[in-house]
Chain A
Amino acid sequence: MDAQITSAITVDRLVKRYKTVAAVDGISFRLAPGSITGLLGGNGAGKTTTIAMIMGLVTPTSGTATVLGALMPKERYRVLHRMNFESPYVALPMRLTVRQNLSVFAQLYAVADIDERIADLAADLDLAEFLDRPTGKLSAGQKTRVALAKALLNRPEVLLLDEPTASLDPDTADWVRGRLDRYRHAQGATVLLASHNMTEVERLCERVIIMKQGRIEDDDTPGRLLDRYGRETLEDVFLDVARGRGGHREVAR
């Protein structure tokens, strides 16, 4: 990582407006290198749009999103090979086998030893038994593991995850969370995770940003959020924020 970079992701007064609707409305935050942050919010809160602007897939109306020192989307080609993402809204080609898909993306990301990397990921994410099966014939859980393998192919320094465990059974979801946590600790990667799943955020994240109607409603560690709202779970905190109750914004950064 570049020596002068003090934050892996910097979002500064970011706005995305579609005609008259503000999907993201002037949000700012910085993510320290190696941190894992949860982006919480209900449907339409602006989580996916925020992540899309950080990835460079959507141009901001105003404000900036900077990743590893590169302004997105203008300077995206400086850093795209150091990032990756996973989202349930995108998929890998179904007719290609898992191995074919992973090897195509490995070549796109200029991964050095493709066969070895795929073998390592297959062992780590339990893909070996279906590596040569068409991706479309896999179960939802297996597809998620393959998508995660694709997201980790290039050992990204910045990993963006949009609902990484959506539609998974609790056991598989827990297994995926364990692998994500392990990867982050091993690689020192910065992870931004958009989720509806409070258990997931509580387990993985050291910081939580709660969004509502395109704005940041609160931003703190899970422990401090629980204390401030006087709640026992993040789900209750989330409901308080969603319904406009409680002592939020007192310590919001």
Chain B
Amino acid sequence: MKGSDTGLDFSFNRVRAMVRRYWYLLRSSWPRVLDLIYWPTVQMLMWGFLQLYVSQNGGPFVRTAGVFIGAVLLWDILFRGQLGFSISFLEEMYAHNLANLMMSPLRPVEFIAALMIMSVVRLLIGMIPVTLLAILFFGFNLWSLGFALAAFFLNLILTSWAIGIFVAGLLLRNGLGAESMAWTIMFLFLPLTCVYYPVTVLPGFLQVVAWALPPTYVFEGMRALLIDHVFRADLMLEAFAFNVVLFAAASFAFLKLLQSARAQGSLLQTGE
């Protein structure tokens, strides 16, 4: 059992311990599992039936309407990815277990790695059944997007982790008073990243903001693929570059907020 004073060394064993902890929790509670599937299913069905209605009634929006299900499924990757990260973190606060972890040899980077893994696990539990239902109900096969889906997924999950890391920092610093941020922060991205409409719909100044957010490139790329049948690798690379910057900024903010939490004594009192 060796220790270093930098906190920069990394143990897969400690990450595995944390993943095991969250897996035990998920396994012990069927409402938690149901919650992962319930809302994505409701969303997908609602947008799917709307798409069906629009396409049955013709008009200039028929072609655009074809992307509704794709958009809602990709949005869920972004939203559920962040929520999966943040909820696992919140579970430690609800359980009053944070000081136990902070006092253990677990490094912040290992904690974050475990939360990232759990966000993917939770996402897959929710999204796999929903994508299968989308095939069954509406004949929309997200998996047929192949490599493009992998590029979309990578960029969306990176953004969701970056936001999750930032929210975790806020929670450490401000306690459960910042809990509502965990549930609502991603909704700011919903209008700005143009999930359901092209960027050109936005007024000029908001277009500048939209193009500074990585998911915008993904949703534009999805529309290019589904409407024009073109995979825009350039958009994916730009999204990735913005994600690297966003991830680095979120990690820096997290470390600063953690430092501030230690100074303010917030790690012992993680309640309201």
A-to-B contact residues, CB < 8 Å: 16, 18, 23, 48-49, 52, 55-59, 70, 73-85, 87, 89-97, 100, 103-105, 107-110, 134, 150, 154
Contact = CB atoms under 8 A, between A and B. Distances in A.
Contact of B97 (A52, A83, A93): A93
Contact of B7 (A52, A77, A85, A97): A77
B265 interface: yes
A207 B6 CA distance: 34
A92 B114 CA distance: 18
Contacts of B205: none
B5 A57 contact: no
Contact of B5 (A59, A70, A83, A100): A70
Given A93-B95, A110-B1, A104 B21 contact: yes
Interface in B1-17: 1-7, 9, 11, 13-14, 16-17
Contacts of B256: none
A77 B6 contact: yes
Given A95-B28, A100-B20, 4 more contacts: A48-B268, A52-B265, A58-B268, A104-B24
List the 5 shortest-distance A-B pairs measured between CB atoms, nearest first: A107-B17, A75-B5, A91-B96, A93-B95, A90-B99
Contact of A93 (B1, B9, B25): B25
Interface SS of chain A: helix, strand, loop or mixed?
Answer: mixed
B136 interface: no
A83 B105 CA distance: 9
B17 A92 contact: no
A243 to B, nearest CB: 28
A92 B101 CA distance: 10
A85 B99 CA distance: 10
Contact of A96 (B21, B99, B105): B21
B104 interface: yes
A58 B267 contact: yes
Contact of A107 (B3, B7, B20, B98): B20
Contacts of B24: 95-97, 100, 104
Interface centre among A49, A56, A75, A104 (most CB of B within 10 A): A104
Given A56-B103, A80-B104, A95 B268 contact: no
B174 to A, nearest CB: 15
A82 B102 CA distance: 14
Contacts of A150: 100
Contacts of B3: 77-82
Contacts of B107: 77
